[in-house]
Structure 1
Amino acid sequence: MNEEIKTFTISIYTENNIGLLNRISAIFQRRHINIESLTTSQSEIEGVNRFVIVVNITEHQAKKIIGQIEKQVEAIKAYYHTDEETIFTESCMFKIKSNLLFEEPQIQNIIKESNTRIVTVNKEFFVLEKSGRRHEIETLRKELNTFGIMQFVRSGRIAVTKEEMKITEMLMAFNNQ
């Protein structure tokens, strides 16, 4: 049985404990699975964090990883979803020399056409912010790169599922223990 490799978004609800990130990343490392993106933040429940990890694996591998993650003491629940089952985005910021904003009309067109927001402008530099799919951010990066980018940073994926996740009731019960 040769399963298809797909992009999966793995969501892990956890207690906020030191060292958990290392143990979770070790689960992927032991299986020689590269993490494409990792984001962690507060979840919808006070005191519960959520990891959003993007990997390219088979569904069989995803099921095994979920099982391993849920064995971690601090892991409350883990899920995996395909791109079709989620609504997702990434964010990025670009720092560019200020003179380009005024001397290169093409940059103003790029900003307008790409739905990019100017965060700040001063004498030395200006900062742009863009949210969207990775390919949109990569296209913008390539366009701006021809003018010179002083700094660039992109977040990991943030995602919510299209279907309701019954995690909220579970987390409420967990939180009231």
Structure 2
Amino acid sequence: MKKQWFTISVYSENNVGLLNRISGIFLKRHINIESLNVSKSEIEGVSKFTIVVNTTEKWVRNIVGQIEKQIEVIKAFYHTDEETIYQESALFKIASNLLFDERQIQNIIKDNNSQIVTVAREFFVIAKSGRRNEIDEMHEQLKPFGIMQFVRSGRISVTKSEMQISALLQEFYEEA
């Protein structure tokens, strides 16, 4: 089996220590978490972990099974990149004088469909949303001008197909 990118979605109760236990599952298998995002989900009182890994389908299936054994976890799913719609966000902090002195900076901002979110005397900040490779490309374009600070978010994603979590929770609440 060949390695590929997978997005793991974990729906859980919001309890202290769960992130540590989930990351331990990856640590035991020597699988690096490439991206991690935790937020509220579409379901009231339920959190969603979005985890990106590069591994085989066999390993991701085993990992999802181990994650689901955690008491607070309601359900976990895994999907390939082709089965999801996803984005990341990034912020670039650049010296302000470059905005006016280097015409190429304005072209980079425009060509990358990014936006300036703030301008101060010493710096300005550009925001870019998109796929990882798009953000990497913009980073390479800005690097020669000097990036004062750079930060990228974890992946956020939704599946192309309907997620069965809402129906699953409805059944759970009806049985309780």
The interval holding the TM-score normalised by the smaller chain is over 0.9
AA aligned opposite 1:141: H
How many residues were matched structurally?
Answer: 175
Please give the TM-score of this superposition, normalised by the length of structure 1.
0.95
Which of 60, 69, 72 is matched with 1:71 structurally? Answer: 69
- Offset at residue 53 of structure 1 (A): 0.5
* Aligned pairs (5 A) from 1:42-121: 42-121=40-119
- Separation in 2 of the partners of 1:174 and 1:111? 48
Q: Any conservation in 2 of the 1:45–1:172 contact (CA below 8 Å)?
A: no
Q: Secondary structure at the match of 1:146?
A: helix
* Structure 1 residue 38 displacement after superposition: 0.5
Deviations 1:106-139 (CA, angstroms, capped at 9, x unpaired): 0000001010111011111101000001111001
**Map of 1:164 onto structure 2:** 162
Consecutive aligned runs of 4 or more in structure 1 exceeding 4 Å deviation: 172-177
> Structure 2 length as normaliser, TM-score?
0.96
Residue in structure 1 matched with residue 4 of structure 2 by the alignment: 6
Over aligned residues, Cα RMSD in angstroms?
A: 1.2
- Tell me the percent identity: 65
Opposite residue 119 of structure 2, the aligned amino acid is: V
List gaps (5 residues or longer) in structure 2: none
Residues 89, 157 of structure 1: 8 Å contact kept:
yes
Over 3 Å counting, the alpha-carbon distance change for 1:92 and 1:175 in structure 2 is farther
> Quick one: which amino acid aligns to residue 160 of structure 1?
V
What's the offset of the Cα at 1:170? 2.2
